Amino acid sequence: MDVLERYEPLVDDFRAFRAACERPLPSVVRVNEIKATPERAMDALDDEGVAYEPVEWHPGLLRLDSTSPGRTWGAYHGWLHGQEEVSTLPALVCDPQPDERVWAACAAPGGKATQLAALADDEGTIVANDRSLGRLSALRFNAERLGVTSMAVTNRDARNYSLKPFEFDEFDCALVDAPCSCEGTIRKNPDALDEWSLEYIDSIAATQESILRRAVQATRSGGSVVYSTCTFAPEENEAVLDSVLSAEDCRLVEFSCALETRPGVTEWQGEAFDRSVRKAKRIYPHLNDTGGFFCAKVEVGG
């Protein structure tokens, strides 16, 4: 089965979409503003002779003329962190404030969780969780390298996450960057679709729904939950949102995004979704020369 062809009805320029999926992904780093300003980070790259280009829509992102961004002086000292351009969007949508308690439900290896900490000026509390003990070592390494001090790391199943060990009983906001079929990473991982199956999509969608429901339950009324995946499959995106909207006290809200996007789809293979899923944003590789992505913002309570 040609996996990408199943999405031809959703993409307005399928030929451009397909061509973009076959090109290598640009090398991008995020400036870690806990340790450095974008200007200082660019000066360090200049001193090292590494060519770069600032990303137009975000001053803290740089496209490097290098296939090894992690070997730069700035990366070694925690000024830079290799992070796919579009994957910086969820933390920006969360927009955590310095006094807030934020849950990163599926946080390893730590790119988005450490970005949350930087956006909150490394204050407040970032609870970075992952059920994979092996992946947590990368999260801890990145948090230490980037100078994050506001983070608590936990190793639990997000589907039934308990706040009992903490001195609070709800979060101000949450980020569910859910495990997924990773179709949108094909530019970075050409073998991403080798093990693809509808059975896996159905299985992982059930997990995604459970994690998102728990995030809504654990977030205060008036707080927000950001849901993101790096896949194109509506089963893992709009269908998950539709189910959670029916089961929990929450609603989808609009959010700004400087990238070119497409709205969430309201119908897929005969299944209709809540009309509000159009407030979610689909990002196809050919629109901004990035990976594929999906992002939605949920407001908790009436």
The DSSP code for 181 is -
Q: Which domain holds residue 260?
A: 85-300
Binding-site annotation: residue ranges for S-adenosyl-L-methionine: 106-112, 130, 157, 177
Specify if 248 maps to a domain.
yes
Using alpha carbons only, give the angle 214, 7, 201 rounded to the nearest 5 degrees.
35
Catalytic residues, which ones?
A: 230
Rg (CA), the chain: 19
Specify if 76 maps to a domain.
no
Cβ(174)–Cβ(90) below 8 Å: no
Specify if 80 maps to a domain.
no
Specify if 3 maps to a domain.
no
Specify if 15 maps to a domain.
no
Cβ(298)–Cβ(255) below 8 Å: no
Specify if 71 maps to a domain.
no
Specify if 70 maps to a domain.
no
- Number of structural domains, the chain? 1
Question: Shortest CA distance to 258 belongs to which of 230, 295, 233?
Answer: 295
Q: How far apart are CA 278 and CA 252, in angstroms?
A: 9
**Judging by DSSP bridges, how do beta strands 219-229 and 171-177 pair with one another?**
parallel
Specify if 14 maps to a domain.
no
Each residue's pLDDT tens digit in the chain (302 positions)? 689 999 999 999 999 999 999 999 999 999 999 999 999 999 999 999 999 999 999 999 999 998 788 899 999 999 999 999 999 999 999 999 999 999 999 999 999 999 999 999 999 899 999 999 989 999 999 999 999 999 999 999 999 999 998 999 999 999 999 999 999 999 999 999 998 999 999 999 999 999 999 999 999 999 999 999 999 999 999 999 999 999 999 999 999 999 999 999 999 999 999 999 999 999 999 999 999 999 999 999 96
CATH number at residue 257: 3.40.50.150
